[in-house]
Amino acid sequence: MGQEVQYILESKRLVWLVAVVFAVVVMFQYLEFPYGDVSSSMFSVHRAQPPLSQTNQTKTSSEIPKSTGNNTIKFISPPPSSDSTTSPPSSTSASLTPTITVNNTVVAPSIALDNNTLKPEVNPPNLNPNFKKPAPSENKPAMSTGEPQVKELPPVQERPIGDIVTLSDMHDILLHNRASVRSMKPQWPLMVDQELLAAKLQIEKAPINNNDRALYSPLYRNVSRFKRSYELMEKTLKVYVYQEGEKPIFHQPQAVLSGIYASEGWFMKHMKENKHFVTNNPKEAHLFYIPFSSRTLEEKLYVTGSRSRDNLVQHLKDYIHLIAGRYDSWNRTGGSDHFLVACHDWATDETRKSMNSCIRALCNSDVGKEHFELGKDVSLPETYVRSTQNPLRELGGKPASQRSTLAFFAGQMHGDVRPILLHYWENKDPDMKIFQKLPKSKGNRNYINYMKTSKYCICAKGYEVNSPRVVEAIFHECVPVIISDNFVPPFFEILNWESFAVFVEEKDIPNLKNILLSISNRRYLVMQQRVKRVQQHFLWHAKPVKYDIFHMILHSIWYNRVFRVDPVS
Ligand SMILES: *[C@@H]1O[C@H](CO)[C@@H](O)[C@H](O)[C@H]1NC(C)=O
Ligand SMILES: *[C@@H]1O[C@H](CO)[C@@H](O)[C@H](O)[C@H]1NC(C)=O
Ligand SMILES: *[C@@H]1O[C@H](CO)[C@@H](O)[C@H](O)[C@H]1NC(C)=O
Ligand SMILES: *[C@@H]1O[C@H](CO)[C@@H](O)[C@H](O)[C@H]1NC(C)=O
Ligand SMILES: *[C@@H]1O[C@H](CO)[C@@H](O)[C@H](O)[C@H]1NC(C)=O
Ligand SMILES: *[C@@H]1O[C@H](CO)[C@@H](O)[C@H](O)[C@H]1NC(C)=O
């Protein structure tokens, strides 16, 4: 009897104990879960935000969506509203709106937003003040002639903190996407899948290696990984180049070897001529190149005055349809091992539907306004090639000690940032050489001399985030000062940009001189040396050389492909 009571008491105690343990475990998991590894490091600025439910994808625009399985988190700011004709188009005033992509389809937050925000693709070009037919390549760069001047000086716009995607946010998004976003699982397996997976594992286990004299470690996020990945690319990578497509839009790089869109032309030329990487057997290809020029596409198909690029978009769509019907490579991976290299401003938008699954190397790498996906898409350096015969002409500049000008900028008044820059700094301070376009001089001598003799070269965005000035500055060994919120700088996945460039938010333009003066001379000298060392990655050569811009572009595409492979089960 007593024993039985004892027994009942004991088992009651046991049940109670189990219940307590269970409750503690559950509580732990509850507390632990939303702050797990990825999410807590994902958006440092927003760490204080309450965790969001896994299943509920309804977000207010002030919240940051949490990763949900295979979804990508992107930030898309609404395009300028159609009636804002009085003030210049402004990504400055646009607030960022998080959206979620499921299977590459943008799912808009269900909280009410401006209609334009939800459907940027139906924003008709003729209503979008950002829409412009870019001037021919000779006209867009800094020292060209004959562009309208801006009459009204817009005020610096107030923006709430956290509105822009900072470099560190970009890095967090990149890591997050790397960890969680996979390209489509191949419909059927091939050896190349194993090879990519093996490469990924080897890069992740790269031996510590920072004694390569060609690679100065402070310039890189992780020099050991880069070195290993580059070696594996040289050893493994095979690229299939489609022969389909008619000239001149396809297969004719000669048309785009000079001017500001030259990156796509030079890449196409080198890729098509390449013996090492190119294969004629699609079955052994890790990557498939779609050899078109976005510049020529615009030149040949855009109907002046039509204000519509629908026919350009259709042309690319037809092409994908053609190759998807002719080769099974496209269907095998849904296009995720296909890539394109395009420098025209419009290319980002033109390729975002039919080629969205592809790895897109794009000059217009705007992580805010455009659909640029970190971890998949690659920021393509915009290079202004002045001499097709000798792309290295005028390389270099004065040593640091002979750089007498603090800061230099010259350019046309494209977009909304430059008028602000000019408003604050044109003819305001002898140390700040901030001009509109410089008067014509033979071979742009004036402009080049300033680049060669200034400490800092200001790279302010124009209509779009990218500018040839970033590479020009590096070319002439001037420390770049990038004023272009949401611009993903070239080779972002590899280079540690903050070690050799200065990033100034658009809102800080009034404070520009103080920001530059706050950088010690010692620090400046370090950065300038690094600019010289990173230069090799931004140079076009008549014949490609190791670690040059051609190989760096190909490497970033390879790197993103490798890190998106789905582990073969
Ligand atoms: C998501 O959250 C909102 C607001 O909290 C709520 O109204 C809605 O019913 C939720 N939806 C789902 C699917 O849970
Ligand atoms: C999500 O990814 C996993 C593997 O990464 C895959 O098995 C699953 O099918 C994917 N789900 C969707 C909805 O794509
Ligand atoms: C995403 O794709 C997977 C497989 O391709 C499919 O099963 C799933 O239903 C898709 N999800 C959505 C939301 O379209
Ligand atoms: C948004 O679009 C819907 C339907 O297309 C329309 O009824 C509504 O008035 C629009 N709202 C705004 C704010 O333009
Ligand atoms: C670089 O990557 C390697 C391989 O993943 C890793 O072992 C090493 O710790 C990383 N180095 C730094 C500085 O993050
Ligand atoms: C790829 O898929 C599309 C759409 O399902 C189909 O029309 C096409 O014939 C397929 N391609 C090949 C080579 O089977």
**Ligand 5 pocket check for 204: Cβ under 6 Å:** yes
**pLDDT score for 458:** 98
Kindly list the distances between the CA atom of residue 120 and the CA atoms of 10, 71, 124, 349, in Å, as whole numbers in the listed order.
67, 20, 9, 10
293 with 258, same domain? yes
**Ligand 3 pocket check for 427: Cβ under 6 Å:** no
Among the bound ligands, the one closest to the CA of 117: 4
C-alpha 319 to ligand 6 mean position (Å):
13
Distance CA(106)–CA(353), nearest Å, equals 11
Backbone angles phi, psi at 367, to 5 degrees: -80, -5
What CATH number does residue 466 fall under? 3.40.50.2000
Among the bound ligands, the one closest to the CA of 59: 1
86 with 170, same domain? yes
Number of domains in the chain: 4
Among the bound ligands, the one closest to the CA of 224: 5
C-alpha 208 to ligand 5 mean position (Å):
7
Atom of ligand 3 nearest to the CA of 102: 13
**Ligand 3 pocket check for 70: Cβ under 6 Å:** no
356 with 411, same domain? no
**Is 564 contained in some domain?**
no
432 with 460, same domain? yes
Task: Name the domain boundary from 361, 386, 411.
Answer: 386
C-alpha 348 to ligand 2 mean position (Å):
27
Evaluated on CA atoms 220, 226, 227, 230, the torsion sign reads negative
For 71, the domain range is 56-140+149-180
482 with 408, same domain? yes
Pairing type for strands 278-279 and 239-241 reads parallel
**Is 274 contained in some domain?**
yes
61 with 31, same domain? no
C-alpha 70 to ligand 2 mean position (Å):
6
C-alpha 275 to ligand 5 mean position (Å):
32
422 with 348, same domain? no
**Is 321 contained in some domain?**
yes
374 with 301, same domain? yes
By most ligand atoms within 8 Å of CB, the mutation choice from 208, 209, 221, 494 for ligand 5 is 208
Residues flanking ligand 6, CB < 6 Å: 324-325, 328, 331
**pLDDT score for 8:** 61
**Is 188 contained in some domain?**
no
pLDDT tens digit at each of 569 positions of the chain: 556 656 666 666 766 766 666 665 555 554 444 333 333 333 333 322 333 233 323 222 222 222 333 333 333 333 333 332 223 333 333 333 333 333 333 333 222 223 232 222 222 233 233 434 333 333 343 333 333 333 334 444 443 444 789 999 999 999 999 988 888 889 999 999 999 999 999 999 999 976 788 999 999 999 999 999 999 999 999 999 999 999 999 999 999 999 999 999 999 999 999 999 999 999 999 999 999 999 999 999 999 999 999 999 999 999 999 999 999 999 999 999 999 999 999 999 999 999 999 999 999 999 987 789 999 999 999 999 999 999 999 999 999 999 999 999 999 999 999 999 999 999 999 999 999 999 988 888 999 999 999 999 999 999 999 999 999 999 999 999 999 999 999 999 999 999 999 999 999 999 999 999 999 999 999 999 999 999 999 999 999 999 999 999 999 999 999 999 977 54
Atom of ligand 6 nearest to the CA of 327: 13
C-alpha 118 to ligand 4 mean position (Å):
11
358 with 425, same domain? no
**Is 544 contained in some domain?**
no
**pLDDT score for 500:** 98
Residue 204 has what DSSP assignment? H
Among the bound ligands, the one closest to the CA of 205: 5
**pLDDT score for 228:** 97
C-alpha 499 to ligand 5 mean position (Å):
18
**pLDDT score for 184:** 87
- Which residue's alpha carbon is nearest to atom 7 within ligand 3? 103
Kindly list the distances between the CA atom of residue 537 and the CA atoms of 220, 257, 542, in Å, as whole numbers in the listed order.
12, 18, 15
**pLDDT score for 350:** 96
242 with 329, same domain? yes
**Is 553 contained in some domain?**
no
**pLDDT score for 25:** 57
**Is 195 contained in some domain?**
no
